[in-house]
Amino acid sequence: MKIGEPKNQWQAMVECEEKLWWYRALHGFLFRLLDRTGLPPETRVLDIGCGTGGFMKLLRERYTGVVGLDLSWLGLTHTRSRGFPSVLMADANRLPFPDNCFDLVVCIDVLEEKQVDPVRLLREIRRVSKPEGFVLLQASAFQWLLSRHDLAVEASRRFTRPQFEGLAVDQQLAPLYSSYLFTALFPLLALWKLLHPPRIKPG
């Protein structure tokens, strides 16, 4: 459990995920992107920062092997109350999984968080993803839009599209789609495909 995190924050998030237009529109767009992957129902999926399980619930309706991870004990309590036992409390900077075990990694609104090292997190995502796997990322855009709400939820950074893409490309992720979404609100969204690791030429 994070020190000082209010219980009503998580309950409010549960209600918003079910009713607010923003989440409905976002989730619909995310699944239109996932349609491009052609991944089968038996796909193994890791949802990093699953929170209260709103998007994880939808992922489980499509894929059978969905695992959630979050650092918040209260968030995971809500997720488990929805009947999702496959969730872990763990640090996103050190994913507790072996190499090459997920076909799809989803990471929504995590790169901004103060306790997250974006480079280390993306390196970990690259490590646990299978060769030719997919990564779905979303992050808030433009540092000048950093707000009190951001700070209240421990978000300390925002990204431009070149910064966002540069971080991912450095970890050998090839963009299939990258854009600002809902332009008035400036979130960043991208779907990436893992590249084969470069071959090291002898001597």
Q: Which pairing describes strands 129-140 and 173-180: parallel, antiparallel, or unpaired?
A: unpaired
Q: Which residues contact 151 (CB under 8 A, 6 or more apart)?
A: none
Q: Per-residue pLDDT tens for 53-71?
A: 888 889 999 999 999 998 8
Tokens of residue 125, six digits: 């995502």
All structural domains of the chain: 7-194 (3.40.50.150)
What's the CA gap between 113 and 197, in Å, rounded? 28
pTM for the whole structure: 0.75
Q: What is the pLDDT along the chain (203 residues), one digit of tens a residue?
A: 343 444 455 555 655 566 666 677 778 888 888 998 999 999 999 999 888 888 888 999 999 999 999 887 666 776 777 777 778 889 999 999 999 999 999 998 888 777 788 899 999 999 999 988 999 988 765 454 555 544 444 555 666 778 878 888 888 888 787 776 654 444 455 566 665 443 333 33
Q: Per-residue pLDDT tens for 136-156?
A: 988 765 454 555 544 444 555
